[in-house]
């Protein structure tokens, strides 16, 4: 009788184990974990003008700072004042950085165009600031006058006057690009503010 009981208990335990195994193996499995690549940051573009070796438009990684933009533009020219520049300031896409002349803020942060106290100048649109009646005549302007133009440092203003004295008056405003320190990017910055006269 005991043997029959042992057999029945053994069979019962076998059924329980088989049922447990069946249930465990039939449980739905979770979806496999898939690691997705981190999103790639889109680069930003900034326009660097003023007291840099190679003014122009530069593509930089998102999160870049003013120092990165200056380095991309070949560094500061010899007469630039690095102490007036916040090299740690973060850049934003679409900014124009006016380096030098001791004025300005980044274009994306100013609410009062044409003013500022840092290394950048907000460049107002020509329609807002310049008409044919108040353009600066590059053939008669003094160094002090020329120094007020965006992107023109005191050294470049002196170069303009020296070039004019040695070569005669400018025939067109494009001729100002013959002056050392004025390239296409600087010319694009000042062309709406100057005239060569009639």
Asked whether the predicted pLDDT for residue 110 surpasses 90, the reply is no
Q: What is the pLDDT of residues 75-89, one digit of tens each?
A: 888 777 777 778 888
How much is the pLDDT for 111?
A: 33
CB-based burial label for 147 (10 Å; 0-12, 13-18, 19+): middle
Structural domains for the chain: 38-123 (no CATH), 127-195 (1.10.150.280)
- Say how many C-beta atoms besides its own lie within 10 A of residue 96's C-beta: 22
CA pseudo-torsion sign 127, 129, 133, 134: negative
pLDDT in tens, 135-194: 889 999 899 888 888 888 889 899 999 999 999 999 999 999 999 988 888 888 888 889
Q: Higher model confidence: residue 120 or residue 8?
A: 8
pLDDT for the residue numbered 56: 83
Q: Taking the model in full, what pTM does it have?
A: 0.38
Strand partners of residue 58 = 46
Helices (H) and strands (E) in the chain, counts: 6, 5
Burial class (CB in 10 A: 0-12, 13-18, 19+), 68: middle
């Amino acid at each position: 009788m005991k043997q029959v009981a042992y057999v029945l208990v053994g069979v019962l335990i076998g059924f329980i184990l088989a049922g447990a195994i069946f249930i465990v193996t039939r449980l739905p499995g979770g979806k496999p974990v898939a690691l997705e690549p981190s999103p790639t940051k889109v680069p930003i573009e900034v326009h660097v003008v003023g007291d840099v070796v190679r003014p122009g438009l530069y593509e930089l990684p998102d999160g870049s700072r003013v120092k990165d933009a200056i380095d991309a533009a070949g560094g500061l020219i010899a007469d630039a004042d690095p102490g007036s520049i916040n090299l740690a300031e973060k850049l934003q896409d679409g900014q124009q950085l006016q380096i030098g002349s001791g004025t300005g803020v980044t274009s994306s942060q100013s609410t009062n165009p044409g003013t500022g106290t840092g290394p950048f100048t907000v460049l107002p649109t020509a329609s807002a600031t310049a008409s044919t009646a108040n353009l600066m005549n590059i053939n008669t302007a003094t160094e002090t006058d020329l120094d007020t133009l965006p992107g023109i440092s005191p050294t470049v203003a002196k170069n303009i006057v020296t070039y004019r004295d040695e070569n005669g008056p400018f025939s067109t405003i494009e001729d100002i690009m013959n002056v050392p320190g004025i390239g296409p990017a600087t010319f694009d910055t000042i062309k709406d503010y100057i005239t060569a006269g009639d």
